[in-house]
Each structure stands twice: as C-alpha cells, then as structure tokens.
Amino acid sequence: MGRRWSIRPMNEGQAGTTHMTGGPRPPLESVDRALQLIEVLRDGRTWSVKEVSDRLGVAFSTAHRLLTALKFRHFAERAGDHGYRVGAALRDDAEDHIRIGALKRAARPALEMLHAGVDETAQLMVRHGTHIQFVDGIESDQPLRVAARLNDRLPAHCSAGGKALLAELDDAALEDLYAEGLPMWPTASITTLGALTRQLAAIRRNGHGINRDETEPGVSGVGVTVTEPDGAGIAALTLAIPTARFSRADTTTYAAVLERAADMVRDALCGWKTSASASSC
C-alpha cells in the first residue's frame, strides 16, 4: 500500500510541518500545499477561500492562488460566488455516476410533482463547464409537447436551466469559463459574454432563467437552480414548453412551482446527508 497523506495546519513561512507520515520534509512547499489542498477538496463539500486558508494554515492570498492554480487545471471548480469544490479532473466516471444517481433519486419526486401539476415536460440537468447535460425528465402527456431529452448536451447559455446555473457564478468566474468565447449554436440569441452577463444579472434578480427558441425552434422554457444544503448550485430543474403556448405572463407561475420542486430536492439531499453524518443541514 502507498503512504497516506497526513494533513496538519502549516503556519505561513513554517516549512516542513506538513508532510507524508514518516517521510522527510517536502522539498517544494508550494507543491506540497497544492497536494494538501487536493486532499481537502476531495471530501466533496464546498470550501471558501477563508476555510482553505484556515485549514492549511496559510495566508488568504496564498489560499486564493492555490485554488486559482488548481482551477486552471480543472482540479477545482467554482461553486457559487465564493466557494470552490473538487473539479472534473479529480472526479472519475464512477464518482460522477454515484453523484448523478443520488441526485436523480432525490429529484424524481419533484419531477413527478411538476408533471402532475403543470403537465409540461419536466427535466433535470447538471452543468459541465460551458454545457449542460440532461440527466432525467418526464415528458408531458399533452398532444403538443416537447420531447424529454436524456444525456443530451447543449450550451448552457442557450438553456433556461443552464442560464440559472451560470447565474451562480460571479463575473470573474464567467470570464474564466468563457475565456475562448461562447460556444456556437445555430439558434442562440446570446453570442457575446457581455450580453450573457447582462442577462445573468437579471436572472439573479428574478431567480429563474428563460429560454425562447434558443435551444431549438418552437421550444421555450423556464429553469431554476437546485442547491445543496450548503447553498451551492448543483443542478437545475426546467419546464420545457412548446413556444406556441408559452406566454411570458405565465413565467412567474412556472417559476414558483419550479422553486417548490427545487426545495423538495434540496430537502431530500439534506435528509440523506443528515442521516449519514448525524448533523443538521
């Protein structure tokens, strides 16, 4: 078996107090700290820069630099305005499968509630970088309806739920995410980061995203973010509606029922975490 990492607080400028158990002082403090931070992030929760600073015993600015470096290589990713969590480079397929499976189980009653109450196609999605992926859904029973998608990926900036998830990021994180520009999409109405930033500001005020013929002609939608018990956005719930019967006057009603559904998912996740950790959410 390989040696296990032992994480102990290290005071700024105090070399060698955190190292592999039984091993010599680390030759490169910056590398050692980055490896410590990777171990911290792998616990699965969202960490603020201050929490990382306290955990590693380093200055706030040092913690921020370490997180920025890990984010550049996708070992960390932004979660909300001020948090970081483990990035895609540290999540293997098995971990992603387990995480998505738990989310789908928590969200299924909410999707059923949306289907029964609104009878429009209800969908659950997660964000992977600049795109969203549909992970579950229930199709409307109406003759004219939007087909439910499963495992399809679309640019986040075209989707109602994708926009809601992007609104969780601050402007600096958005600039990092779209450093190479917005992905092209045939029916996209937003084509620049400036236009996206302005729309996301409105979504933060209103609490929901809207899509009108942006993913494909004839399809509109409303979406809200699903948050974890710690407040980090992890998914989105959407209602996909044929544009022929989509009215902006109904948007507030759709958003309200979606918010109730999102609360159901959060409460389910909270209940599971509380049972597992014997702590309150």
Same domain, 190 and 245: yes
CA dist 208 and 233 (Å) reads 13
Question: Shortest CA distance to 145 belongs to which of 250, 249, 219?
Answer: 219
Domain boundary among 91, 114, 147: 91
Same domain, 82 and 129: no
Question: Shortest CA distance to 36 belongs to which of 5, 4, 67?
Answer: 5
Residue 159 near residue 128, CB atoms below 8 Å: no
Same domain, 127 and 45: no
CATH number of the domain at 138, please.
3.30.450.40
* Number of compact structural domains in the chain: 2
Q: What integer pLDDT is reported at residue 126 of this predicted model?
A: 94
Same domain, 133 and 37: no
Cα radius of gyration rounded to whole Å, the chain: 21
Domain boundary among 56, 91, 126: 91
Torsion, Cα 25 29 31 36, to 10 degrees, reads 80
Q: What integer pLDDT is reported at residue 27 of this predicted model?
A: 61
Q: Per-residue pLDDT for the chain (281 aa), expressed as one digit of tens each?
A: 343 333 344 443 333 333 334 455 556 788 889 999 988 887 777 889 999 999 999 999 999 999 989 988 878 888 766 788 888 777 665 556 667 888 999 999 999 999 999 999 999 999 988 999 999 999 999 999 999 999 899 999 999 999 999 999 989 889 989 988 999 999 999 999 999 999 999 999 999 999 999 999 999 999 999 998 778 889 999 999 999 999 988 999 999 999 999 999 999 988 765 454 444 46
Same domain, 218 and 134: yes
Q: What integer pLDDT is reported at residue 187 of this predicted model?
A: 96
Same domain, 129 and 267: yes
Same domain, 67 and 152: no
Token pair listed for 4: 């296990």
Same domain, 17 and 107: no
Same domain, 248 and 117: yes
**The domain containing residue 68 runs over which residues?**
1-91
Domain boundary among 40, 69, 91: 91
Question: Shortest CA distance to 162 belongs to which of 125, 123, 212?
Answer: 125
CA dist 53 and 40 (Å) reads 11
CATH number of the domain at 2, please.
1.10.10.10
Token pair listed for 139: 């199709």
H-run or E-run covering 150:
none
